[in-house]
Structure 1
Amino acid sequence: MYTPDKIRNVMLVGHSGSGKTSLAEALLFLAKSTDRLGTVADGNTVCDFDPEEIKRKASIFTAMAPFEYDGKHINLIDVPGLFDFELGIYEGIKAAESVIATVSARSGVAVGTIKAIKLANKNHKSKMFFLTKMSAEHADFKKVFEGLKNEFGTGVCPIVFPVMAEGKPTVYVDLLKNKAYTYAAGKATETAIPDTNGYVDELRAAMNEAVAETDEALMEKFFGGEEFSHEEIVKGVKDGVKQGILMPVLCGDSTTLEGIDLLLGAINYILPSPAEIGEFDATDADGKAVKLKIDQNGPLVAYIFKTVSDPFVGKLSFVKVLSGKLAGSTAIVNATTGESEKPGKLIFVKGKKQIDASEIGAGDICAITKLASAKTGDTLCSAGKVYKVEPIVFPHPSMTMAIKAKNKGDEGKIAAA
């Protein structure tokens, strides 16, 4: 069982085709959570495993991909970018503390990017940008970075940028650490920061301006022309991301694995853990609004953010445990309906792979098998300590359609179709 300070719940969002699923694949591979680097084109990625997704080469369903990296437990939530399946982002936003918006370094800011960031702002989530496809033809970091600043303001903060030569990135500069790296076969080697005709200084000034926005004392120091210390910059970035006013920008390539290690480090040390978020809103049995701590020693409160029908185990309810601990033997009550529930197995779901779990603590995500009547949006809790979390507000459908069996007893045939 992981403690809340060791967990990162991160949702990958962005316009369709911006590289979310490929980025998830690169993160899993570099973290040694998988033994091969799958591709969307080959239909062998962890997150796009449904036959329709493989056929269409696009995400249709929200997929989970938990993994460990450098002592942290990271729950990746890969949601569809196609607007036809945008319910996925509403499911994931309830489970994540942070969102990483993928933006193609070729095509730049798109409608899907803007919609995702608006939803993240509305739900008070931390935000980060990752510019994908840096090795592709016509990739342009400067143009896309300026597009992000124009769209989202001075809180857009450069952290990593590429030095280009003949249209290809040759060096990646980490502005936070003031270090530069070259890449070969996905492995980074430190090198000297090359001459960029003042562009490093320009980006560092943009970073300092963004950091200054996070604290009044830093703002005074900035306008007074004083230099920030390394510690002040790192703390300012982390605090600003947690507050939602600062949005770091990193970049790389999921095919060559360039910059992916820097993103893994940023997930662990910049994005907030559930423990750093600290508390969540709920209502008690009397309907009174309360704030509860994200604490494994607190009362059990778990929120169902997604429900699927699995062909092998049946109904799967994906839950975010907000407080307390959840075990397969736990007696739970559905706070939304008042009914008692007997959970089946607890499992971690990684794409189509299912891994048994004995106990899940506050801040973590798992799936529960065979809950009888619980549905998406319901809150599960201990008997005698009833708390309810505000359910997801899904967008209204533009059309409704249903398929019904003509003959009684043919429902199974429809389910298998």
Structure 2
Amino acid sequence: MGATSHAHPGAAGRAPAADHPSSLRNVVLVGHSGSGKTTLVEALALAAGAVNRAGRVEDGATVSDYDEMEHRRHRSVQLSLVPVEWGGHRINLLDTPGYADFVGELRAGLRAADAALFIVSAAQEADAVAGTTRAVWEECALVGMPRAIVVTHLDTARTSFDDMTRICAEIFGGGDPDAVLPLYLPVQGPEGPDGHAPLTGLTGLLTERVLDYSGGERKERAPADGRREQLREARDRLIEGIIAESEDETLMDRYLDGGDISTRTLIDDLERAVARGTFHPVLTAAPAPEGARQGIGTVELLELITRGFPAPPERVLPTVTTPGGEPRPAPVCDPEGPLLAEVVKTSSDPYVGRISLVRVFSGTLRPYDTVHVRGRGLTGGGLEPRPCHDAEVRIGALSAPFGKQQRTLERCVAGDLACVTGLGGAETGDTLSPVDDPVLMEPWSMPDPLLPLAVRAHSKADEDKLSQGLARLVAEDPTMRLEQNPDTHQVVLWCLGEAHQDVALERLRSRYGVNVDAVPHLVPLRETFAGPASGRGRHVKQSGGHGQFAVCEIEVEPLPSGTGIEFVDKVVGGAVPRQFVSSVEKGVRAQASRGLVAGHPLVDLRVTLLNGKAHSVDSSDAAFQTAGALALREAAAETRIQLLEPVAEVRVLVPDDYVGPVMSDLSGRRGRVVGTEQASGGRTLVRAEVPEIEIGRYAVDLRSLSHGTGRFDRSYARHEAMPHQLADRVREETKDGG
């Protein structure tokens, strides 16, 4: 993090200079879509010698050769790993999607990393920066993950590094803006008529030296006289911020007394504060100018990563239990220790099959080892082990990815990441451990998918492949949930957003050869009686030989919500023989499950059998089942059948500025706001009850309404009567649909 140049550090893909966890750095890049994460990864790979000026290595691979779908969409949709080497360290750069629909890939990157670079575009509005990255910043803060901020796109017209630094301090400072300060100030060329001012270098605040890239090579020089006062003010503030985080309590007194504090001491304290996660430096970066080998700020970033960010042994590892839930001693990042690894991402290759990206936390993983694979759900409530994920598996080859290419590895030590083949049915989040001592890692949280996508096979040929394709899709992406609704008989993929849905459909088609049609999602409605009624079911047929004879009389009365169907026998005198009473009940319940008006199940009724008639020869179980169904249908003709719709309890967490619009929007959805309460970070939790038919697209609408800052969850509350006008429209649609 000083101002000295580095020698060429070596290319990615070669054996690390020191094959030990202390030489590793795992860094996740976080930022809004379009902030420049992938461009920065390419620039870092170029500076580290992993690629040539054209962005390619010897075999033609490029950093951005990830997925054809990403090229078509011009955005990242999945987590990508790019390993580079710098100064004897192996750096695993984890490039994450910036679009909110693919936050599951971001969470996987956070799990695999030990530090984070937050990429912020100077061309973005402050609201966009806050809305898309503050939640992730807070997640990192909860676990003490070290973070730094990189400002990009400073060469865009009408951008300001000072303004962007101030915004970052306000958003990420957590009440302490002096914990978010720049290490370097940008040096920009003359501003053109369009407001464009090219970035030509950086000025190190601690070293007070300019790093000039304008000639194509990084050179040092003294700052211009006219800049010294501005640099002095920024340098003093940085020094005060570093001293405030220093463990040496005498530094502040020495500084206030005018004593000299060496640059080396300040840099050492800065590095320790960054590693602890209490100080968050702001840097800037830009792609390499024409003809240059190093992008502006890339060497400084690589220095920060290797010298300021922690190695895997310095991080607290997730807790571990036995499969039965008994706690185990805290794991240690030791290559000689027992194996402890986790699948952080699952993907498919048309030639290789399923590929698992694995983070090894302890021990050493080698090709063709036999390991124990154990899995459990990643989202709330789904923590029970899945039986199919409790197996011994002999893994295949290990490799390190670079774009689409895979470089063979001889081993993967504690703290490192590798792609593994042959893990069978292992899914994202599964734990790998020794066969003779299986353990289970604490699960990491995933957002609950709340946007439904109902699908059906496009053709008969697709029907045969649909189940397998959907199962593989969900296994790869734990932020998707597959539901086969027993009430509507629809196959529903629950996703995080519309882009997530589009990617799911495209992957089904291109990766698994399954064409599906999206159909309107149906909510499970119910029917009930609006008032008491009675009915008589008469089923009499005689066509020679054995006939059918059954008569029953029933009384129906509505019950409170959630009661279901009650059947009461009040027959006296044997009018309906005992053996046929249950037959009447079967007929009533069968008709109730089919519905009476719109084909929705009938609920919340008491059906009382009062009387009936039987024939000694022609009465039968089937005859009385039919009579029971007819009696219920006749009773329905005497009263109004009411449609019931499901109501969800919705909890919306939004910044205080959006509480009014959110409450107004919920009211417009026929919702009832039942309460609000203050939450941390200037946010409010709004609780409401809303008909589910009104919130099918709420995941998309809330994101738009709150500029990406709002989150919500929902749970079923009960069924309630649907308004008459809406119920009539549903009945008409049912008739039109046949």
Q: Fold match, TM over 0.5?
A: yes
Counterpart in the other structure of 1:54: 71
Which of 282, 307, 311 is 1:269 aligned to? 307
Aligned to 1:190: 220
Q: Aligned equivalents of 2:312 and 2:216: distance in 1? A: 30
- Give 3-state SS (helix, strand or coil) of 2:202's partner: strand
The question of 1:127 aligning with 2:150 is answered no
Question: Is the aligned partner of 1:231 residue 2:264?
Answer: yes
Return the alpha-carbon distance in structure 1 between the equivalents of residues 420 and 311 of structure 2: 23
Distance in 1, matches of 2:54 and 2:258, equals 47
Are residues 1:18 and 2:35 paired? yes
Cα 1:293–1:163 shift into 2, 3 Å: same
State the alpha-carbon separation in 2 of the partners of residues 220 and 396 from structure 1.
Answer: 51
- Identify the residue that residue 72 of structure 1 maps to in structure 2: 89
Provide, for residues 355-383 of structure 1, a one-character-per-residue CA deviation record: whole Å limited to 9, x for no partner: 11111101100011121122111110112
Per-residue deviation, residues 216-239 of structure 1 (Å, max 9, x unmatched): 514555555544322321122111
1:180 aligns with 2:217: no
Aligned partner of residue 400 in structure 1, secondary structure:
strand
Q: Return the letter of the residue paired with 1:183.
A: Y
1:290 Cα deviation after fit = 2.8
Instruction: Summarize deviations over 1:88-123 as a string: whole Å, max 9, x none.
Output: 110100000011111112336512232331222233
Q: How far apart, in 2, do the equivalents of 1:210 and 1:16 lie?
A: 31
Instruction: Give yes or no for the alignment of 1:397 onto 2:449.
Output: yes
2:134 is matched with which residue?
A: 114
- The alpha-carbon distance between structure 1 residues 294 and 221, as it changes in their structure 2 partners (threshold 3 A), is farther
Please say if residues 108 and 144 of structure 1, whose CA atoms lie closer than 8 Å, have aligned partners that are also in contact. Answer: no
Residue in 2 that maps onto 1:296 = 335
> Deviations 1:321-348 (Å, cap 9, x if unpaired)?
1111000132211244442111111111
Structure number with the bigger relative contact order (C-alpha 8 A, sep ≥ 6) is 1
> 1:359 and 2:411 equivalent?
yes
- The equivalent of 1:144 in structure 2 is 164
TM-score, normalised via structure 1 length:
0.91
Change beyond 3 A, Cα 1:378–1:219: farther
Q: Secondary structure at the match of 1:64?
A: strand
1:201 aligned partner: 232
Please state how far the C-alpha of 1:38 moved relative to its aligned partner: 4.8
Find the counterpart in structure 1 of residue 317 from structure 2. 280
CA shift at 1:214, angstroms? 2.0
2:366 pairs with 1:342: no
Are the counterparts in 1 of residues 165 and 181 from structure 2 also a CA contact under 8 Å?
Answer: no
Is 1:158 matched up with 2:196? no
1:313 aligns with one of 352, 360, 381: 352
Which one of the candidate residues 433, 438, 441 is aligned to 1:381? 433
1:390 is displaced (CA, Å) by: 1.3
Amino acid at match of 1:213: A
One-letter amino acid of the counterpart of residue 261, structure 1: V
Could you say if the C-alpha distance between residues 215 and 385 of structure 1 is closer, same or farther in structure 2, counting changes exceeding 3 Å? Answer: farther
Q: 1:46 to 1:403 in 2, by over 3 A?
A: farther
The equivalences for 1:79-94 within 5 A come to: 79-94=96-111
Aligned partners of 2:365, 2:301: CA distance in 1, in Å?
31
User: Which one-letter code corresponds to 1:161 in the other structure?
Assistant: L
Which amino acid is 2:205 matched to? L
**Distance in 1 between residues matched to 2:109 and 2:216, nearest whole Å:** 29
Please give the per-residue CA displacement for 1:110-138, whole angstroms capped at 9, x wherever unaligned. 12232331222233211011111233322
Higher Rg of the two aligned structures:
2
The DSSP-based 3-state class of the residue aligned with 1:280 is coil
The gaps in structure 2 that reach 5 residues or longer are 1-14, 191-196, 290-294, 376-388, 470-507, 515-738
Q: Is the 8 A contact 2:199 2:286 kept in 1?
A: no
SS at match of 2:44: helix
1:108/1:250 CA distance change after superposition, 3 Å: farther
Aligned length: 412
* Contact kept in structure 2, 1:14 and 1:116, CA below 8 Å: no
Contact 1:6–1:73 (CA under 8 A) maintained in structure 2: yes
1:172 shift after superposition? 0.9
Aligned identity (percent) is 30
Structure 1 equivalent of residue 497 of structure 2: none
